[in-house]
Amino acid sequence: MDFRNSPSSSTTSSTTTTPNPAITTATGAGAGAGPASSDDPMHSWWESISKARSRIHSLSSILDPTSSFSLSSLADSDRPALSLLSSIDAYLAISAALSSPLSGSGSDPLCHWLYDTYLSSDPHLRLVVFSFIPLLSGLYLSRIHSLSSDSPSIPSLAGFEAVLLALYAAETKVRAGKPVLVSVPDLSQPSLYHTPRQKPNSNPGSGHTRNSIGVLAPPLEPQVAVKSTKRAGIVGVALDCYYKQISQMPAWSKLDFCRFSAAWAGRDCSCQEQFDDEPEITGFSETRVSENGFRIDDVTEEISQLRIENGNGNGNGHSYSNGNGVGSSSNSSNGDLGSKGSRIPLPWELFQPALRILGHCLLAPLNSQDVKDEAAFAVRRLYARASHDLLPQAILATRSLIQLDKRARADAKAAAAATNSSSNANTPSKARKPEVLLVSK
C-alpha cells in the first residue's frame, strides 16, 4: 500500500489534500467482508492462522530488532492473533514505536501495518488494531493541536490519518447514511412499563406531543481527507468503533485512553474535588493486574500532594490527590506516555464517545481496580473542563458518572466490611477458662 498521497492534516477547513484512490478504494472494500472463505472449516481455520502468522512476522520486521522481546513465540501459538492482542510485551513494543517523534507520517511502516491489518477479513487481527486506537488517537490529537499552536508548519501525520479514515469509512458504510437513534422514554409515566391511557394528540398546537426518538449521532458523510472542521468527528467515530469492541480490549489499552482523556481535559482544578468530600474512594494500587492475568508493574503510584501542571496540561508525570485517596499519575512504562498528552478542544462529537469509553472503564464489573481508578480521575478532570467551558450536556454526563462511581465504591466498601464482619463472626475463638470464684466460709 502506498501512503505517499494519503490524506494529510490541514489547519483550515478550506485546505484539503489530494486523496489517494488506492486508500479510499481499499477502505471501501475493507469495510465489508473479505474474500469468500472456503466451505471447508479446517481450510478456513488454517487460512486464518497463516494470515495471522504472516502479519505478526511482518510486524516483527518493523519493530526495533535490538529489542529483547521477540514476536516469534506469538506467531507459533495456536491462536496467534489473540496471543498478540493479550501480550503486554508486544503492546509496549508497538507503543514505543508509535510514540516515537517521527511516527505518524505517510511513510511510517507501522501505520502501513495497522492500515493493512484492519483491512484484512480476520476479526481477531482487527481487534489488535482496535487496541491501539486510544494511543493513536491520543498521539494524533495531542500533536496536531500542540504543533498547530506553536508553529505554522505542521509535520505530516498522514499515516495516523489513514488509519482513522479507514475506521471512519467502515462505519460510514455500516450506517448507510442513516442517523443513530435512541428511544427516549416518556418521563410523565410512573415507569418504563406503563403505557399512556390515551394516545397523545398529534396536533402540534395541543402541547401533548412528545418525541420518543432522539438522535444519538447524525448521519455520516464520506470523507477522503481530514479537514480541520471534520477532525473531531472522524476521531470520535474511530473511538465509537473502539467502544463497540471494548469488552475484548486489554486493560493497558483502556489505561492509555484514560490517561489521554485526563490530559485532553487540561490542568488540575479544584472543581474536580467538589464531589469527593467523603473519604470513600480508595487510592491506587502500586501493582497493576489486568483481567487477563498479566501484571503491569509500577504503572501508577499514589501521590499525597496536589501538583499543578503547566497550562497545556502536558507536564511530565502529572499527578493529583485530593486528600480522599483519589489520585493519578501518568508515568507509564511505555515511554512516559503521559508526557505526550496535551489540552485540546473538546467538542461534543469527541466528548460523547470519550465518556462512553470512560463509563465502561469506570463501571464494568470485570475491569481491574487500576482501570477504574484511572477512569475516575479522568472523569473528574473532564467535569472540571466542562464546568469551565459551560457545556451543559458534558456537565450532566460527567456528574452522573462521578455519582455512579461514588455509589459503586461505597457499595463495594460496605460489602467488604460485611464480608470481614461475617468472617470474624465465623472464626472460632479460643475457649475461655472457667472462672473460679473464691467464697469465704
Contact 64, 133 (CB under 8 A): no
Per residue in 66-105, pLDDT tens?
A: 665 778 888 888 889 999 999 999 999 999 999 988 888 8
- Angle, CA 32 vertex, CA 28 and CA 35 arms, to 5°: 105
Report the candidate in 170, 100, 109 with the shortest Cα–Cα distance to residue 135.
100
Per residue in 272-306, pLDDT tens?
A: 666 665 443 433 333 444 444 444 443 333 322 32
- DSSP code for 2: -
Bin 279: left if φ > 0, else alpha if -120 < ψ < 50, else beta: beta
In this prediction, residue 418 has a pLDDT band, given cuts at 50, 70 and 90, of: confident
Per residue in 154-209, pLDDT tens?
A: 668 999 999 999 999 999 999 888 888 887 777 777 776 766 655 555 454 444 44
Average pLDDT value for residue range 209-227: 79
Share of the chain above pLDDT 90, in %: 34
How far apart are alpha carbons 163 and 21 in whole angstroms?
15
Q: Out of 226-235, 282-291, 396-405, which region has the weakest mean confidence (pLDDT)?
A: 282-291
From residue 343, alpha-carbon distances to 130, 139, 153, 179, 314 in Å are 24, 12, 20, 30, 7
pTM, two decimals, is 0.71
Report pLDDT for 168: 94
Report the candidate in 382, 383, 379 with the shortest Cα–Cα distance to residue 408.
379
- DSSP code for 78: S
Query: What is the chain's length?
Result: 441
**Cβ within 8 Å of residue 390, ≥6 positions away:** none
Per residue in 7-42, pLDDT tens?
A: 444 443 333 343 443 343 334 444 444 444 446 777
- Angle, CA 122 vertex, CA 118 and CA 46 arms, to 5°: 145
Whether 116 shows a pLDDT value over 90: the answer reads: yes
Cross-strand partners of 215? 181
The better pLDDT of the pair 339, 341 is held by 341
From residue 318, alpha-carbon distances to 301, 305, 341 in Å are 11, 11, 10
Average pLDDT value for residue range 1-7: 48
Whether 363 shows a pLDDT value over 50: the answer reads: yes
Residue in the block written with cell 465465623: 426
Report pLDDT for 83: 92
Report pLDDT for 48: 83
In this prediction, residue 425 has a pLDDT band, given cuts at 50, 70 and 90, of: low
Report pLDDT for 292: 43
In this prediction, residue 432 has a pLDDT band, given cuts at 50, 70 and 90, of: low
Question: Which cell goes with 228?
Answer: 480541520
Whether 322 shows a pLDDT value over 70: the answer reads: no
The better pLDDT of the pair 429, 360 is held by 360
Contact 43, 249 (CB under 8 A): no
Report pLDDT for 200: 52
Whether 241 shows a pLDDT value over 60: the answer reads: yes
Question: Which cell goes with 435?
Answer: 472462672
**Cβ within 8 Å of residue 300, ≥6 positions away:** 284, 288, 328, 329, 330, 331, 370, 373, 374
The better pLDDT of the pair 352, 188 is held by 352
Strand ranges for 278-435 from DSSP E: 287-289, 295-297, 319-321, 327-329
Average pLDDT value for residue range 234-263: 94
Average pLDDT value for residue range 333-362: 77
Share of the chain above pLDDT 70, in %: 62
Q: Out of 128-132, 352-356, 432-436, which region has the weakest mean confidence (pLDDT)?
A: 432-436
Mean pLDDT (the chain, rounded)? 73
